[in-house]
Amino acid sequence: MNPVAGRGRALKAKPQIIKALLEYDVELHLEETKGHQHASELARQAVQAGFELIIVAGGDGTINQVINGMGEERVPIGVIGCGTGNDFAAALGMPKNPVAAVHQIMKGENGLVDLCRVNQRYFVSSTGIGFDGEVAFRVNEGFRWVRGKVAYLCSVFQNLFSYQPRQIKLTVDGLVMEFNSLLVAITNSPTYGGGLKINPEARLNDGFFAICAVQHMSIPRILVCLPLLFPGWHRNLKKVRMLKGRNIILESKQPFYYQLDGEILTAQVLRYTLFPQALMVKGAKIESVARLSFTEGEVPRAQEA
């Protein structure tokens, strides 16, 4: 449990969460995170101790730390969305109510979703590069008093007048694109920023990344187009390209901020790898797809989403 996630939402729900879990015949051990990356260490300890299910009460960033702490182990996880955005929990079909989420996890079956990696770090929901990375940085640093879309939009307006576009090279399954970018969002789930439909066609278990690549726009144009993010209508704009792919490289001559499930990092080159249906999640309500298998060395073509 991340006690500070979502302005302390998990901590407030702690008694109800524990009470709900104790209704089941389980051996329960609760740990609260005490700082950045502590969730990774707790996940490593849980795997080593032989626990059969790891439940995460927190936001996308806490889930990210747990996944990276588990490493190559395939212990099932359960998700109680208590963070700022909770986009992964939403994509899993988890209830917003923490107690309802507990019951859905404990009564549910194990399902498989794709596991994603950029460079040497795993992620489950989304990455955002460029303007989006700086927006996420501001959300984490300056807008902890609001959550979800409101926090994201406050940060968007703060960054509008300071963001400097950059030239990037984006390679998706061999297709090369070079452009002056506003943002590039490479995701496994359809939403980010607390529910903004950045990649409406994304599926957690289809074996592909979803990509939204946006060329640089003027400030007035951004303001006009921003409302289109809510219903996902931005995909019809001329300066927006929607793709799906498995092997992705993003390069820039200058280092840039990027967000990884809400965690803020910097890089100059990002190399993406996807492991189809490699993460086990208990209680998820997602549409089943055929399990995909790819021959080693096979490079599928990028698809227009």
**Fold type of domain 5-108:** Rossmann fold (3.40.50)
The predicted pLDDT at position 299 comes to 46
Q: Could you tell me the two tokens for 50?
A: 């032989």
81, burial (CB in 10 Å: exposed 0-12, middle 13-18, buried 19+):
buried
The predicted pLDDT at position 109 comes to 96
Q: Could you tell me the two tokens for 242?
A: 């929607």
Q: Could you tell me the two tokens for 84?
A: 């700022």
236, burial (CB in 10 Å: exposed 0-12, middle 13-18, buried 19+):
exposed
Cα separation of the two ends of the chain: 36
Give me the average pLDDT of each 10-residue run along the chain (305 residues): 90 95 94 94 96 96 95 92 91 96 97 96 92 65 56 67 82 96 94 89 96 91 83 91 96 90 90 96 84 50 64
Element (H, E) at 18: helix 9-21
Residues 6+ apart with CB under 8 A from 232: 190, 197, 198, 200
List, in sequence order, every beta strand (DSSP E) within 107-163.
110-118, 121-123, 126-130
The predicted pLDDT at position 130 comes to 79
Element (H, E) at 63: helix 60-70
The predicted pLDDT at position 292 comes to 55
The predicted pLDDT at position 148 comes to 54
Residues 6+ apart with CB under 8 A from 8: none
Indicate the domain borders of the chain.
Answer: 5-108, 126-275
In a 13 Å sphere around the CA of 58, the CA atoms on its Cβ side amount to 27
This prediction's pTM: 0.87
* CATH number listed for the domain at residues 126-275: 2.60.200.40
The predicted pLDDT at position 230 comes to 81
The predicted pLDDT at position 297 comes to 45
